[in-house]
C-alpha cells in the first residue's frame, strides 16, 4: 500500500468501490457491534468476586466502628488508607464517600458555585458568566456537568504531555471569570495521554497566575492505577507541588474504584487541603448521614496491600484488546497515512483522529452496518468537535472476537470516508 496522497485517482476509485462492496456484504450480516462502552468486561468484574465473601460476619473496622451503622462521614480508616494508596496522598487528606467520583465532582463544583470552597465570601455565583477550561478531546460527563451548572466551557488543546500551557495561561491571566480547569492527568479519557512533570508543576502554580482568586484545579485521576505494565508509571504529585507553591487550597482531587472492582458499586474518594476538605465534608453531611461502610470495609480488606497486584490482573485482560486495536489501525490505516491515533499504555480509551470533516461521516457509515461508535463530537463541549475529526474507541467491554470484527468495520468506514473525500477534493 502507498500513501493515499500519492495514489492515482483511478486506483482510489477502484479501492473505494471495493470498500463499498465490502460494506454491503457486512450489512447483510446484520451485525450488532459496539465500541462505545467504556466499562469493565465481565471477566474484569469477576476478578473482584472474592470480595463478596470477605466480610463473613466480621463488620468491625480497624478502629472498632460497626460498619453497619450510621456515622464516619469521612469513611473508615482502612478505606481512606486505600484511597491514599490510590491517590498518593495522606489518608488524612481524603474523604471516602459514595460510589461515584463523578457525584463528588458535581458536589464540589456546586459547592464552589453556591458557597465557595473556603468558608469566606468567595463563590463562583458572584461571577454571572463563570467559565471552566476543558482540555479537548475530553470526558463528556465533565462537559455535561459543567453545562448543567451553568459554567461556560473554553476548549484547551490536549497534547501528549497534557493541556496546552500557553493557551491556559492566556485564558486565566486576565479574565477573573475563568474559575477552574478539568484535568484527567493519567491515561486521559479519551487520548490516554499522561501529564508530564512540567505540566503538573505548571498546574500547581496556576492559581497564582489566574486573575480569579477562587480558581480551582479539578483533578479527576480516574485512571491512576490503570497501567498495562507494573510498577505503575509515576505521575508528579499535584498536592505536593501545590503545597510547595502555596496553592493547595485550590486543588481538589478525585478517584474511585469504579474500574478496579465494580463500576458504580465501588468507592469514591476526594482529596484536598484540610480547610477545603472540611467544607466538602460539611456539604456531604447535609445530604447524607454516612457512607456505605460495609462496602468500604470489604474493599479495604480485598484491595489493601494488593492494589497493584489486582490491577495487573486487569492489565492482562486489557492489554490484548489494546494491542489488537493498535494492530488493526496500523495494518489498515498506517501506510495510507490517513489518520492519527493514540497508543496508550493504560486507561480505557484510544483516540482516533480522521482527516478534518470526516468523523461524522465515519459514524454514519458505521451505523449503517450495525457498528455503534461514541457519537462524533461527544469528546468536545456542547457535542461540537470544531474539526469534526475525533473518534473515541473503547476496547474494554467487547470480547476479543467482537472487538476484532468491530475494528475491521471501523477501518473500512474510515478508509471509505477518506477516499470519497479525497476524490471530491481532486475533482
Q: What residues make contact with ligand PLP under the rule CB under 6 A?
A: 38, 100-102, 139, 184, 189, 220, 222, 256, 258, 268
On whether the CB atoms of residues 425 and 348 are closer than 8 A, the answer is: no
Q: Which is nearer to ligand PLP, 143 or 215 (CB)?
A: 143
Nearer residue to ligand PLP within complex by CB, 40 or 77 = 40
Question: Residue 62, exposed/middle/buried by CB under 10 A (0-12, 13-18, 19+)?
Answer: middle
- Distance of alpha carbon 90 from alpha carbon 69, whole angstroms: 26
Smallest separation (angstroms) from ligand PLP to the CB of 310: 17
Shortest CB 139 distance to ligand PLP, Å: 4
Q: How many CA atoms lie within 13 A of 292 on its CB side?
A: 11
Distance CA 78, CA 73 (A): 14
Is 264 or 282 the residue whose CB approaches ligand PLP more closely? 264
Nearest to ligand PLP of 95, 413 (CB atom): 95
Query: Whole-angstrom Cα distance, residue 161 to residue 182?
Result: 15
> Closest CB to ligand PLP among 100 and 273?
100
Report yes or no: 388 and 348 within 8 Å, Cβ to Cβ: no
Among residues 257 and 273, whose Cβ is nearest to ligand PLP? 257
In the complex, what is the shortest distance from the CB of residue 349 to ligand PLP, in angstroms, rounded to a whole number? Answer: 8
CB of 272 to ligand PLP, least distance (A): 17
Nearer to ligand PLP, 268 or 414 (CB): 268
Q: Quote the least distance from Cβ 144 to ligand PLP, whole Å.
A: 12
- Here the contacts of 65-68 (C-beta below 8 Å, separation 24 or greater) are 65/293, 67/293, 67/294, 67/296, 67/297, 68/293, 68/294
Shortest distance, CB of residue 350 to ligand PLP, whole angstroms? Answer: 13
Q: Considering the complex, what minimum distance in angstroms separates the CB of residue 101 from ligand PLP? A: 3
Q: Name the residue among 201, 172, 178, 197 with its Cα closest to residue 129.
A: 178
Nearer to ligand PLP, 51 or 102 (CB): 102
Which CB sits closer to ligand PLP, 255 or 419? 255
Cell 500519492 found at: 6
Q: Compute the least distance from the CB of residue 420 to ligand PLP, in Å.
A: 33
Calculate the CA 162 to chain-centre distance: 13
Contact of 266 with 273, CB cutoff 8 Å: no
Distance CA 343, CA 340 (A): 10
Half-sphere exposure in the Cβ direction for 353 (13 Å, CA)? 13
Beta-bridged to residue 392, according to DSSP, are 351
**What are 413's strand-pairing partners?**
none
Rounded-to-integer distance, Cα 150 and Cα 122, Å: 17
CB of 142 to ligand PLP, least distance (A): 7
Amino acid at each position: 500500500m502507498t500513501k493515499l496522497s500519492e495514489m492515482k485517482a483511478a486506483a482510489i476509485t477502484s479501492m473505494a468501490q471495493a470498500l463499498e462492496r465490502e460494506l454491503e456484504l457486512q450489512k447483510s450480516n446484520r451485525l450488532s457491534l459496539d465500541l462505545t462502552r467504556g466499562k469493565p468486561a465481565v471477566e474484569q468484574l469477576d476478578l473482584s468476586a472474592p470480595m463478596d465473601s470477605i466480610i463473613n460476619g466480621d463488620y468491625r473496622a480497624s478502629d472498632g466502628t460497626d460498619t453497619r451503622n450510621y456515622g464516619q462521614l469521612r469513611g473508615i480508616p482502612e478505606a481512606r488508607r486505600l484511597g491514599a494508596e490510590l491517590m498518593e496522598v495522606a489518608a488524612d487528606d481524603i474523604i471516602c464517600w459514595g460510589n461515584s467520583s463523578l457525584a463528588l465532582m458535581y458536589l464540589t463544583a456546586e459547592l464552589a458555585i453556591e458557597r465557595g470552597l473556603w468558608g469566606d465570601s468567595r463563590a463562583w455565583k458572584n461571577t454571572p458568566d463563570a467559565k471552566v477550561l476543558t482540555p479537548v478531546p475530553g470526558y463528556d460527563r465533565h462537559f455535561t456537568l459543567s453545562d448543567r451548572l451553568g459554567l461556560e466551557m473554553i476548549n484547551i488543546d490536549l497534547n501528549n504531555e497534557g493541556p496546552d500551557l500557553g493557551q491556559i495561561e492566556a485564558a486565566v491571566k486576565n479574565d477573573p471569570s475563568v474559575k477552574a480547569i478539568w484535568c484527567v492527568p493519567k491515561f486521559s479519557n479519551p487520548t490516554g495521554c499522561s501529564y508530564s512533570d512540567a505540566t503538573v508543576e505548571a498546574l500547581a502554580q496556576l492559581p497564582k497566575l489566574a486573575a480569579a482568586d477562587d480558581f480551582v484545579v479539578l483533578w479527576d485521576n480516574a485512571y491512576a492505577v490503570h497501567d498495562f505494565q507494573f510498577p505503575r508509571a509515576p505521575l508528579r504529585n499535584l498536592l505536593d507541588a501545590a503545597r510547595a507553591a502555596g496553592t493547595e487550597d485550590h486543588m481538589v482531587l478525585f478517584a474511585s474504584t469504579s474500574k478496579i472492582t465494580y463500576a458504580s458499586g465501588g468507592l469514591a474518594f476526594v482529596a484536598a487541603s484540610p480547610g477545603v476538605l472540611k467544607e466538602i465534608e460539611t456539604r456531604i453531611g447535609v445530604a447524607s448521614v454516612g457512607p456505605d461502610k460495609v462496602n468500604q470495609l470489604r474493599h479495604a480488606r480485598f484491595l489493601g496491600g494488593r492494589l497493584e497486584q489486582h490491577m495487573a490482573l486487569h492489565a492482562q485482560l486489557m492489554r490484548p484488546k489494546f494491542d489488537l486495536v493498535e494492530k488493526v489501525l496500523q495494518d489498515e490505516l498506517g501506510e495510507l497515512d490517513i489518520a492519527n491515533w493514540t497508543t496508550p499504555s493504560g486507561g480505557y480509551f484510544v483516540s482516533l483522529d480522521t482527516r478534518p470533516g470526516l468523523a461524522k461521516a465515519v459514524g454514519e457509515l458505521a451505523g449503517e452496518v450495525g457498528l455503534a461508535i461514541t457519537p462524533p463530537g461527544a469528546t468536545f463541549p456542547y457535542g461540537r468537535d470544531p474539526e469534526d475529526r475525533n473518534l473515541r474507541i473503547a476496547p474494554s467491554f467487547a470480547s476479543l472476537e467482537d472487538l476484532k470484527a468491530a475494528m475491521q468495520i471501523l477501518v473500512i468506514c474510515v478508509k471509505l470516508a477518506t477516499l470519497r473525500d479525497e476524490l471530491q477534493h481532486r475533482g
